[in-house]
Amino acid sequence: MGYFKLKNGIKAVVFRYKHSDEFVVINSSGKYYVIIHPGVEELYREIRGRED
């Protein structure tokens, strides 16, 4: 975990678990979080399902 600057210049907190190619970027209250985890697709589907 750590703070990194994304290619677009925005700072984000990055959570990384092992060496996964799958990731999701979350913007919450103007703060960006990058989650890199093998099962992140399921998290993304859960988040999308709760937006309705």
Q: Which residues contact 39 (CB under 8 A, 6 or more apart)?
A: 22
Q: Where are the domains of the chain?
A: 2-49
Helices marked H in the chain — which ranges? 40-49
State the DSSP code for 43: H
pLDDT of residue 47: 82
pLDDT of residue 52: 53
**pLDDT digits 0-9 by tens, 1-52:** 789 998 899 999 999 988 888 899 989 889 999 999 998 989 888 888 876 5
Q: If DSSP states are collapsed to H, E and C, what string results for 1-52?
A: CEEEECCCCCEEEEEECCCCCCEEEEEECCEEEEEECCCHHHHHHHHHHCCC
Q: Which residues on neighbouring strands pair with residue 12, listed in sequence order?
A: 4, 32
